[in-house]
Structure 1
Amino acid sequence: MMVKKEKFDFCTVCRKNTEYTLQKRNIIKIIKGKEYTFSITSAVCNECGKEMGIPGLIDKNIQEVDEQYRTYEGIVSIEDIEKLMKIYKIGKGPLSLALGFGEVTITRYLSGQIPSKEYSNDIRAALSSPTYMKKKLYENKDKIAPAAYSKSINAAVQLENLFSVSDKMLRVIFHVFKKLDEVTPLMLQKLLYFIQGVSYALNGKPMFFENCQAWVHGPVYPEVYDMFRDFKYNPIEDVRFAIFGGTEDELTEDEQGVIDLVVNTFGEYGGKALEKITHSETPWKDARKGYEDGIPSHEPLSMESIKSYYVEKNAIYDFSSEVGLKKYIREILR
């Protein structure tokens, strides 16, 4: 497969500067007695068709082989280790000691040394489970400086608080974060509500089982509000959600389809516009009956009312396509 850019360098066969194209080719390597096939990048002369040695290509090939080998063997990547350090606010030495490794082990791994399967599994477990990381921190507390221990254990406790909502809710939120560059807490709340409604309309069932409430500024999932309240009106930048990287694949194709439809339509608007849409919809208005504007409420916004409303509107607009959803949004905002 060709890479877009074509460049020039010296071809040792043509004995002159020629244009070359980057292509992918497969190579076979034997590592520890086991055969592997790796896809690497090569530079091919556009005139003679022979491979060329261009600056930086050998380093790129080494990196390609390294990444693919780690994938083959289920070994954590350097990026995974850096992610772990960010999530738990911990340095290389303290992380090594917390996991029960030698003090310079993580430093060596960040420099390119490949971890053993056992150590890789420990790193992966810490990356995917704050409970496991807490356990390792407790076990090795005496080896770590008090300040480093305190910072990391607090991060682990905060991360555990994420699990006050269901795994499904977490995966939906991660998928939204992955699709949109900037999401404020207000915007996230409304997108979750629309995802729930469109899921009822298209799949006949809720996306998740958390209940929302009719607050002054529209539907709100209280547990999600607590998770991100510190961001106020600012875009959410939360490294903790890195632990769910890849888990969005555990959403079904239909579920991902619903999220993508909502993100590609409602996600084009800011939080205030989305709030205005929810204020025009029957579920929120019915739940807020008896409350004057600006008066706080925490009335439940029933799943049945969301389902009924979105099934009805789907019959009119056809929410299975972006065209139908955009038409609905435009008419509400008009």
Structure 2
Amino acid sequence: MNNKRIDTVITSEEIISILRRYNIGKKPLARLLGWGETTILRYIEGDIPTTEYSKKLISILEDPEYYYETLEHNQDLITGVAYRKSREAVLEIILSSKINKVSYYIMHISKLSKWDISAKYLQCILYYSQVFSLVLFNNELFPDDCMVNDEYIPYENQYKRMERNSSYIINCNNISLSPTEKALIKEVYEAFSWYGPRAFHQMALYDKSSIKISRDQRNRRIFAKDSLKAYYDEVLKIYNIANINEIKRYPGLRLREICERNE
């Protein structure tokens, strides 16, 4: 049994890990990938996968959302029981992350409104959902730190994930957010969806110099949650925004202030 990966060749132990992680059998996985039924078994027993097959298996191992897309796209190639068991397993992995839950809920709202939200604009909704949760509820919506960078992409890992996997929307019934959280996210989405990425860039640029920058454990620049809360708490007081029903007023007020300052 091959247990040590050589370059881009997946190991037998890693293949076994795929089967366990996604609760799928050897034959169903092979069928799902459009391969011969004994392919996975042969690799586990010592055959060396081709570079193409190995790369695909490594992608599946390292990226649950890639596997989810593969499962959804090729579900007719396996039994209904195998599909449901594996789907439950992969969704549990994906939705164990709170920011993933929030992201997929935003994408769900976007789909209902018949608007294909971009990875960049999702960042805007994530950012302001976090901000309004911190200020109005004194509670973080998700634990991820807000990165400070020249591209104004506050949640870089999430941005990269959506860039890779943006085709499938997870059924809203699988997303366990509280009614209050869902209401907040929906209000932020509806308030900001009237404005384009350029408006978000203007607001981010305007605010950036006034928010305290910290460093995380990896020495990356971040806006700590307490800094975000302190800054936007003052802003919302000025705009007299005290509950989620008033969030819709924020973008217009902010952009008007920016325009007046730039005149």
Q: Above 0.5 in TM-score?
A: yes
Instruction: Name the amino acid aligned to 2:174.
Output: T
2:106 counterpart of 1:176: yes
1: distance between equivalents of 2:210 and 2:61?
A: 34
- Counterpart contact for 1:190–1:274, Cα < 8 Å: yes
Alignment correspondent of 1:308: 230
8 Å CA contact 2:211, 2:223 repeated in 1: no
Q: Would the aligned equivalents of 1:169 and 1:208 in 2 still touch at CA under 8 Å?
A: yes
Quote how far apart the aligned CAs of 1:307 are: 0.9
**What is residue 197 of structure 2 aligned with on the other side?**
271
- CA deviation vs aligned residue, 1:246-275 (integer Å, no higher than 9, x gap): 133x21122112111210112222222212
* Higher strand content, 1 or 2: 1
Correspondence for 1:68: none
Unpaired runs of 5+ residues, structure 1, are 1-129, 231-235, 289-296
Q: How far off its partner does 1:222 sit?
A: 2.4
In structure 1, the partner of 2:85 is none
1:228 to 2:162 alignment: yes
2:167 counterpart residue number: 238
| Equivalent in 108, 113, 131 of residue 197 of structure 1 | 131
What's the secondary structure of 2:222's corresponding residue? Answer: strand
Instruction: Tell me how far 1:171 sits from its aligned partner.
Output: 1.5
TM-score (norm 2): 0.59
1:167 is matched with which residue?
97
Instruction: Tell me the residue number matched to 2:90.
Output: none
Partner residue, 1:325: 250
> Once the two structures are aligned, what percentage of the paired residues are identical?
16
Q: Which has the higher contact order (CA 8 A, sep 6+)?
A: 2
Q: Identify which of 130, 136, 139 aligns with 2:24.
A: 136
**Cα distance in structure 2, aligned partners of 1:276 and 1:131:** 47
The alpha-carbon deviation at position 319 of structure 1 amounts to 5.1
Q: Please, which runs of 5 or more residues in structure 2 have no aligned partner?
A: 1-17, 41-52, 67-92
Q: 1:143 to 1:287 in 2, by over 3 A?
A: closer
CA distance in 2, matches of 1:165, 1:189: 18
**Residue-pair matches, total:** 189
Based on CA coordinates, which of the two structures has the bigger radius of gyration? Answer: 1
Match of 1:208 in 2: 142
Residue 143 of structure 2: SS of its match in structure 1? coil
How many angstroms apart in 1 are the aligned matches of 2:151 and 2:257?
Answer: 17
